[in-house]
Amino acid sequence: MIKNRWTPVRILAVGFALIILAGGLLLSLPIAARDGLPTPFLNAIFTATSAVCVTGLVVYDTWTQFSFFGQVVILLLIQIGGLGFLTAMVGFSLAAHRRIGLGERAILAESIGATQLAGIVRIMKRILLGTAIIEGTGAVCLATQFIPKFGTVHGIWFAVFHAVSSFCNAGFDLMGIVKKSSSLTLFYDNPVVIITIALLIIIGGIGFVVWNDIVECTRSGRKLSLHSRVALLSTAILIVGGTVFFLFSERNGLFSGMTVGDRVLSAFFQAVTPRTAGYNSIDIAKLSEAGKACTMFLMFIGAAPGGTGGGIKVTTAAVIGASAVSAFRNGEPSLGHFRIGSDTVMRALNSTSVYCVQTMIGVAILCLQGTHFTDACFECLSAIGTVGLTVGITSGLPAISRVVLILLMYIGRIGSMSIFLAVRNKTTAPKLRDPIGKIIVA
């Protein structure tokens, strides 16, 4: 009876929470710290949450604070969080030749955003194999640049760590070995590093459902589904539009001393990374106000459903945009010559509304703790969008503000509406319906 009351959404929510707790306990051990001293539990939980929720917000520089053991724990948490802990569990089950039950298939479908159970195990196999190939290829490309700079051992480890972190849109880095909290600013003019990491971010962010659709279409020759087309087109528009915007907004600021090629590379990367990756090749705190506004907008939108990123999702933004356009035209919302159902529009509006309210509550609490409004907005959007970009105030925030960011990261990874569905009590529909009331809406 108890098992029957545990819905897939609730199992996902509790599962992620337990992994965060386990990760926090491991990171708080003396063996996980470079100085051999226990890490304060709140900070360890913050780091574990950021890793499992593939965010990248940190209160410590990863390299200078954590030992090799601690870095391995963080990397495992990132991989589990990026794929979804159930996907990792399925990998072990498949390796042990254990049959995947119907209940597990339902949970798996929920975790990757699939709309049906048919073929879900086949999709899982493709996800695991594809992840290994993509991360491995990325690691090889990065190793060509990191080994000459850091040596063979460190170069290989750094290549693997950053490939996994990039593909999972986590944003954790080990560049503190050169300069504390420098992220990728030391490689802003290195096209191999920047483009490799950007491609890993994009591929991880488009969503596992889109992956599978591309594979199926390649085999069968049929057209991509509407979801995949919208996800890919929206992603391309945001990247191209963001690149052009940053080229214009930062031309007399951060980009003023760069060559044309470096400007394009930096603008491109800055358009990619706010959509839940968390790396930065330029100093975010020195962005113009317009640049910060564009970054917050991209963090708000995020990646595609079922991928390793957060945000309200590009498809949600597309549905809301189509709905707004249809209101002006006095018609029905449509995308790609397909009508969008009212239930889809309502779900998009509901999830975005909940997302905005949760962010606003977080901003208000941070402001009450003494954080400047713009900085509070940036940090909260970064947390709930599982982005990881920061204006440099995370490590100095009060304990209450850190707890708020922990909750926002967790909500952002599970999903705003999923959290609501996981904690609400099941209620039966009322037999009598209230009369319709009239409210003037502008």
**Which of these ranges, 141-145, 198-202, 218-222, 418-422, has the smallest mean pLDDT?**
418-422
Considering only residues 364 and 257, tell me which one the structure prediction assigns the higher pLDDT: 364
In a domain, 262, yes or no: yes
By percentage, how much of the chain surpasses pLDDT 70?
A: 84
Which structural domain, as residue segments, surrounds residue 356?
A: 9-422
pTM of the model: 0.86
Quickly list DSSP for 48-71: HHHHHTT----SS-HHHHB-HHHH
pLDDT at 407: 93
Considering only residues 251 and 308, tell me which one the structure prediction assigns the higher pLDDT: 251
In a domain, 108, yes or no: yes
**Which of these ranges, 35-44, 137-146, 216-225, 365-374, has the smallest mean pLDDT?**
216-225
Q: Which residues of 403-417 are buried (b: 16+ CB within 10 A; e: fewer)?
A: ebbbbbbbbbbbbbb
431: pLDDT confidence band, cut at 50, 70 and 90? low
Would you say residue 237 has pLDDT above 80?
yes
**Which of these ranges, 14-18, 299-303, 417-421, has the smallest mean pLDDT?**
417-421
67-69-75 Cα angle (round to 5): 105
- At 180 the three-state DSSP class reads coil
**CB of 365 within 8 A of CB of 404?**
yes
Residues contacting residue 318 through CB under 8 Å, at least 6 positions apart: 230, 234, 335
**CB of 7 within 8 A of CB of 36?**
no
Q: Which two tokens stand for residue 347?
A: 């779900």
Would you say residue 357 has pLDDT above 90?
yes
In a domain, 175, yes or no: yes
How far apart, in whole angstroms, are the C-alpha atoms of residue 315 and residue 418? 17
332: pLDDT confidence band, cut at 50, 70 and 90? confident
Would you say residue 105 has pLDDT above 70?
no
pLDDT at 420: 46
The mean pLDDT of 111-131, rounded to a whole number, is 68
- β partners of residue 33: 66
In a domain, 144, yes or no: yes
83: pLDDT confidence band, cut at 50, 70 and 90? confident
Q: Which two tokens stand for residue 62?
A: 């990863």
In a domain, 2, yes or no: no
pLDDT at 264: 94
Considering only residues 150 and 336, tell me which one the structure prediction assigns the higher pLDDT: 150
pLDDT at 129: 86
Would you say residue 266 has pLDDT above 60?
yes
The mean pLDDT of 47-61, rounded to a whole number, is 91
Q: Which two tokens stand for residue 326?
A: 């249809």
In a domain, 314, yes or no: yes
Q: Which two tokens stand for residue 385?
A: 């969008």
What average pLDDT does the chain have?
84
pLDDT at 93: 53
The mean pLDDT of 247-275, rounded to a whole number, is 91
Q: Which residues of 310-348 are buried (b: 16+ CB within 10 A; e: fewer)?
A: bbbbbbbbbbbebbeebeeeeeebebeeeebeeebbeeb
The mean pLDDT of 155-173, rounded to a whole number, is 93
Considering only residues 103 and 264, tell me which one the structure prediction assigns the higher pLDDT: 264
pLDDT at 221: 80
**Which of these ranges, 84-93, 258-267, 286-295, has the smallest mean pLDDT?**
84-93
In a domain, 199, yes or no: yes
How far apart, in whole angstroms, are the C-alpha atoms of residue 173 and residue 78? 12
Q: Which two tokens stand for residue 306?
A: 């079922």
136: pLDDT confidence band, cut at 50, 70 and 90? very high
Quickly list DSSP for 331-366: S--EETTEEPPHHHHHHHHHHHHHHHHHHHHHHHHH
Q: What does each C-alpha distance from 126 to 7, 81, 88, 198 come to in angstroms?
A: 25, 18, 13, 22
How far apart, in whole angstroms, are the C-alpha atoms of residue 230 and residue 15? 31
How far apart, in whole angstroms, are the C-alpha atoms of residue 71 and residue 68? 5
Would you say residue 112 has pLDDT above 90?
no
How many domains, the chain? 1
pLDDT at 417: 46
Amino acid code (one letter) for 337: H
Q: 223: how many CB neighbours lie within 10 A of its CB?
A: 10
Considering only residues 248 and 440, tell me which one the structure prediction assigns the higher pLDDT: 248
pLDDT at 175: 93
Q: What does each C-alpha distance from 304 to 129, 276, 308 come to in angstroms?
A: 20, 10, 8
What does DSSP say about strands 338-339 and 334-335: parallel, antiparallel, or unpaired? antiparallel
Amino acid code (one letter) for 85: F
The mean pLDDT of 356-362, rounded to a whole number, is 94
Q: What does each C-alpha distance from 121 to 7, 168, 218 come to in angstroms?
A: 19, 21, 19
Burial of 374 (0-12, 13-18, 19+ CB in 10 A): middle
In a domain, 184, yes or no: yes
**Which of these ranges, 80-84, 254-258, 402-406, has the smallest mean pLDDT?**
80-84
